[in-house]
Chains A and B, each alone.
Chain A
């Protein structure tokens, strides 16, 4: 127990405003941001995109580019003003005392240098250590960040290790110089949930051991709850709420923070019992922020004073700072959704319906050509990537099947095979009674029309060269859903169903926000009136409030049109919320499949259990089991024998023969309840005996 001493903060921002010079004036991207970070503290900065989170970090490092500058305020690092510093002095500070970790680890790694050489450089150049000593230190540090086989990693090139490992190397590199301040900008956003969990554990450990001050930028409220001690919520360039994690999550005071927390589905919540409440409107661009409270136009509690007067950041009784005039009067428990929010009406389905899509032992292999002389001559051994193997499931009409799994588990290949972008290698797949094992060229136009897809990336889902109307009209005309004369009318009808006005018909995609583009993408998929829509991560690139709106929209569409959906996502809470049944995939195989509520409660497949325990939960008080998987997903070129998960399975000792069997024999399907199957050697009784991942 140490006595809290009044040490000066490592980083202190004092009423900082950042402006960019643009054509015809300048834009204040960030205004009145003040916060401080002490030694050994990790301060989360959250908010939707466009709220100025990253701008703040760039301002600290003076990376604002040619047209950006700190317009007002002071940025004090260790008591010294960074704003006035430039050139050599600033470079030295950045090199020696401030380190950064970004979302993409490859930004920080030189692809043409061995990792060891890059790591050692920091020590040999800056500290003048000998090569031997530097090598030893680097290996120590790599082991410190839980890098398996550290000595070997030193000799590799960046592309030879996985994304999660790359990020660890970057973190190790950042820590080698023992920085006073570590700035992390979405460091785990590009990583799988299991890897993310391990990296987050690592960050929490390092903060304690190195006494480093961490500024952690993310959009994910769950991540903040796990690694941070304090949180600052940013909205439209301002800090709207700031306090300790416990205080803010226990009782969020600002309407925006409350709104954000209502947008994310709780792990375990489903669509039948709960609703998502998107925040209406969207973040105003920096040049058209409202006078008065910036959140005013989207706030459910707006009063006259909010329009007139910009609230100041003030400290409440519980130590939380809030930028709201009426924070004390707002009771989040008494909140009612505003009438402007569209909420879906989900009908309960009673009867069991006939499957519309039936897949049996579907398999997809990709041939790989090696690069050795033997391979070129065609003499080499034929090798195959086993992307999908023996996948079987059925989707009843009007239901939603969610598919989850780490990247590289084959969920995208599975979808591509179903929609016909790839043909299948073996197995059976029937859609509406028609065979769909061949690729799209072998299919009838009628069949193509019934199978459509919604894509992940809103920025590339629409062709930038055509108007929204033209792009939605295309499938209608192609499949003869509407004649040329009525097509405009039909498109407008569909746009309206997507809550977009007729005026969107003539707009170009670049004039739309991400959420609107995604709506149009859904409209295009629905234009041919398909029976089955495949959604490939439709909301993962969107901000939480937009994500909630899109999920609601999909629910409404499904209940109106009785569309069947297959829904891929890596966010397990979203899948749980959205799906009727869930399939968990690992290395091309389904490990567990069953009704959504059954998947999220014991008995679990050990892999499902690990996935669930890795999910960041936006509640600092949640009691979550800590199961972390070792290593990374093995190559699909040469998957492990027996059970594919045996190399990483934390529950293997529970299997018969102490886990020997997992290595040698493929596990059987065990039906633990009606429709709930688990691919595992461990007897169901044992699986049932494990505690739930999240303590109730």
Chain B
């Protein structure tokens, strides 16, 4: 019999599933996060659906030009007579669901925005962990370079990357990675500075663990909460960036429809006035997805910090 067991009760080994559910149920504690998640899920489902079915082929001009919304074309048609609803559905894919590799028709799962953010997370974490944990010259060198990078306006960085490497999904991924990494690195660095003062890091050091073990096994897992929230926000920014690039005409290459591109097409050549509706839909799609992710991230952050208290 022990002191502790008297109140500890019977053995329970929490099932993985149950733990998962506990983690997820946090989301529903917050109304904001629930609303955000619903919006994101809505677009995910639309995207998944578009893989198998769209009302009409998205890239063929089957209808009259510039139709208003009507029972056949729910959201109207664009200046080439393509069904906007179908194009909008298809447009989710490149953002969230697939990335097209440059040569041939190979497609990998996960949208450009997702890969871009994952890339910046990876790069940013490695840099941030090293800068934060090792300190001294490592810190100085890494943070100076990143600060220099941050000094450029994001859009200029995009233009530089794309001008250097040409158009393509992977280029956009790379652009998002490079512009996102400094922010992630700063976040990870500040988290690391805090976490590295904890006694369990001292314990790992006194076991003589090597630096990479400490960085990735001891520190990084404890930074995951804020990182997750940050990643959500970044996916939103990335979608925004893709939209911007599409609008400038240097975003994701055709043939797949791209929301930013759609906005630009609907605007160009004075079409804004003849058929303003065609521009509103993709703009609203971008906005809603970004807002959804933001709400989700905000709600999540609130709940996570509340739990930590």
Starting from the known contacts A453-B202, A506-B13, 5 additional A-B residue pairs (CB-CB under 8 Å) come to A23-B29, A280-B6, A420-B206, A500-B4, A503-B10
Pick the residue among B3, B203, B207, B224 that contacts A499 (CB under 8 A).
B3
Pick the residue among A342, A452, A466 that contacts B2 (CB under 8 A).
A342
Cα–Cα distance between A465 and B200 once the two chains are bound (Å): 11
Residues of B within 8 A of A516 (CB): 4
Residues of B within 8 A of A504 (CB): 8
Residues of A within 8 A of B10 (CB): 503
Residues of B within 8 A of A500 (CB): 2, 4-5
Residues of A within 8 A of B222 (CB): 463-465
> Which one, A86-94, A440-448, A656-664, is touching chain B?
A440-448
Pick the most buried of B1, B2, B10, B13: most chain A CB atoms within 10 A of its CB.
B2
Contact B3 A280 (CB under 8 A): yes
Contact A448 B207 (CB under 8 A): yes
Q: Lowest 5 A-B CB distances belong to which pairs?
A: A503-B11, A499-B2, A465-B221, A455-B199, A460-B198
Cα–Cα distance between A524 and B208 once the two chains are bound (Å): 14
Nearest CB of chain A from residue B201's CB, rounded to whole Å: 8
Q: Could you show 21 A-B contacts with beta carbons less than 8 Å apart? A: A282-B7, A342-B2, A421-B202, A448-B208, A452-B206, A452-B207, A455-B203, A457-B199, A460-B199, A461-B199, A463-B200, A463-B218, A478-B209, A479-B207, A499-B4, A500-B4, A501-B2, A502-B11, A506-B13, A515-B4, A521-B203
- Residue in chain B with minimal CB distance to A496: B2
Listed in ascending order, the chain A residues whose CB lies under 8 Å from chain B are 23, 278, 280-282, 284, 297, 340-342, 419-421, 440-441, 443, 445, 448, 451-453, 455-457, 460-466, 471, 474-475, 478-479, 499-504, 506, 513, 515-516, 519, 521, 524-525, 528, 549
Contact A342 B3 (CB under 8 A): yes
Cα–Cα distance between A284 and B7 once the two chains are bound (Å): 9
Q: A460-B200, A503-B8 are in contact. Are A448 and B206 (CB under 8 A)?
A: yes
Residues of A within 8 A of B199 (CB): 455-457, 460-461, 521
Residues of B within 8 A of A342 (CB): 2-3
Cα–Cα distance between A503 and B8 once the two chains are bound (Å): 9
- Residue in chain B with minimal CB distance to A282: B7
Cα–Cα distance between A281 and B224 once the two chains are bound (Å): 35
Q: Is B205 an interface residue (CB 8 A)?
A: yes
Q: Is B14 an interface residue (CB 8 A)?
A: yes
Listed in ascending order, the chain B residues whose CB lies under 8 Å from chain A are 1-8, 10-14, 29, 198-200, 202-203, 205-209, 218, 221-222, 224
Q: A440-B208, A443-B208, A502-B11 are in contact. Are A453 and B203 (CB under 8 A)?
A: yes
Contact A281 B203 (CB under 8 A): no
Q: A340-B6, A500-B4 are in contact. Are A421 and B206 (CB under 8 A)?
A: yes
Nearest CB of chain B from residue A295's CB, rounded to whole Å: 14
Contact A340 B218 (CB under 8 A): no
- Residue in chain B with minimal CB distance to A511: B14
Residues of A within 8 A of B3 (CB): 278, 280-282, 340-342, 499, 515, 549
Nearest CB of chain A from residue B227's CB, rounded to whole Å: 13
Cα–Cα distance between A440 and B11 once the two chains are bound (Å): 39
Cα–Cα distance between A466 and B3 once the two chains are bound (Å): 24
Pick the residue among B8, B205, B207 that contacts A501 (CB under 8 A).
B8
Cα–Cα distance between A524 and B10 once the two chains are bound (Å): 24
- Residue in chain B with minimal CB distance to A466: B221
Cα–Cα distance between A342 and B203 once the two chains are bound (Å): 28
Cα–Cα distance between A460 and B198 once the two chains are bound (Å): 5
Contact A340 B203 (CB under 8 A): no
Pick the most buried of B8, B203, B222: most chain A CB atoms within 10 A of its CB.
B203
Residues of A within 8 A of B209 (CB): 478
Contact B4 A506 (CB under 8 A): no
Residues of A within 8 A of B4 (CB): 282, 499-501, 513, 515-516, 519
- Residue in chain A with minimal CB distance to B199: A455
Contact A462 B200 (CB under 8 A): yes
Residues of B within 8 A of A478 (CB): 207, 209
Residues of B within 8 A of A499 (CB): 2-5
Residues of B within 8 A of A466 (CB): 221
Cα–Cα distance between A152 and B202 once the two chains are bound (Å): 40
Cα–Cα distance between A420 and B206 once the two chains are bound (Å): 7
Cα–Cα distance between A652 and B296 once the two chains are bound (Å): 68
Cα–Cα distance between A501 and B12 once the two chains are bound (Å): 11
Nearest CB of chain A from residue B221's CB, rounded to whole Å: 4
Nearest CB of chain A from residue B289's CB, rounded to whole Å: 30
Q: A452-B206, A461-B203, A464-B222 are in contact. Are A501 and B5 (CB under 8 A)?
A: yes
Residues of A within 8 A of B29 (CB): 23
Cα–Cα distance between A278 and B3 once the two chains are bound (Å): 9
Q: A460-B198, A464-B222, A502-B11 are in contact. Are A440 and B203 (CB under 8 A)?
A: no
Nearest CB of chain B from residue A549's CB, rounded to whole Å: 6
Contact B200 A440 (CB under 8 A): no
Cα–Cα distance between A457 and B224 once the two chains are bound (Å): 22
Q: A342-B3, A462-B200 are in contact. Are A451 and B8 (CB under 8 A)?
A: no
Residues of B within 8 A of A419 (CB): 206
Contact A451 B206 (CB under 8 A): yes
- Residue in chain B with minimal CB distance to A461: B199
Nearest CB of chain A from residue B200's CB, rounded to whole Å: 4
Cα–Cα distance between A460 and B206 once the two chains are bound (Å): 15
Residues of A within 8 A of B6 (CB): 280-281, 297, 340
Residues of A within 8 A of B207 (CB): 448, 452, 474-475, 478-479, 528
- Residue in chain A with minimal CB distance to B208: A448
- Residue in chain B with minimal CB distance to A545: B3
Residues of A within 8 A of B206 (CB): 419-421, 440, 448, 451-453
Q: A23-B29, A460-B199, A461-B199 are in contact. Are A501 and B1 (CB under 8 A)?
A: no
Cα–Cα distance between A452 and B208 once the two chains are bound (Å): 11
Residues of B within 8 A of A278 (CB): 3
Cα–Cα distance between A420 and B292 once the two chains are bound (Å): 50
- Residue in chain B with minimal CB distance to A419: B206
Residues of A within 8 A of B198 (CB): 460, 463
Residues of A within 8 A of B8 (CB): 501, 503-504
